Amino acid sequence: MIKLLALKEIMNQCPYCSEKTISAWQKFKASDLYPAICSSCGKPSRMSTSLNTIEDLAGTVLFPVAAVFSFLNKTWLPLVAFTFILVLGAFLKLRYLPMVAVNEKAVVKKYWFAFGALVMLFIWLLYDGFIK
- Ordered by start, the domain boundaries in the chain are 2-101, 104-132
Per-residue confidence (pLDDT) for residue 108, from 0 to 100 = 86
Per-residue confidence (pLDDT) for residue 2, from 0 to 100 = 53
Kindly report the length of the chain. Answer: 132
Q: Report the pLDDT averaged over residues 83-106.
A: 85
Determine the Cα–Cα distance for residues 39 and 122; give it in Å rounded to an integer.
Answer: 38
pLDDT above 70 as % of the chain:
89
Per-residue confidence (pLDDT) for residue 105, from 0 to 100 = 85
Listed residue (79, 107, 98, 80) closest to 22, CA to CA: 98
The 10 Å Cβ neighbour count of residue 132 is: 6
Question: H or E element: which one contains 90?
Answer: helix 77-96
Question: DSSP character for 9?
Answer: G
Determine the Cα–Cα distance for residues 91 and 72; give it in Å rounded to an integer.
Answer: 30
Whether residue 79 is predicted with pLDDT greater than 70 in this model: the reply is yes
Query: Contact, 27 vs 13, CB < 8 A?
Result: no
Sign of CA dihedral 123, 124, 129, 132: positive
Whether residue 5 is predicted with pLDDT greater than 60 in this model: the reply is no
Query: Contact, 26 vs 50, CB < 8 A?
Result: no
* Average pLDDT across the chain, whole number: 83
* pLDDT tens-digit series, residues 12-71: 888 899 889 998 888 888 887 788 898 888 888 988 776 666 777 777 888 888 889 899
Please, what is the end-to-end C-alpha distance for the chain in angstroms?
A: 62
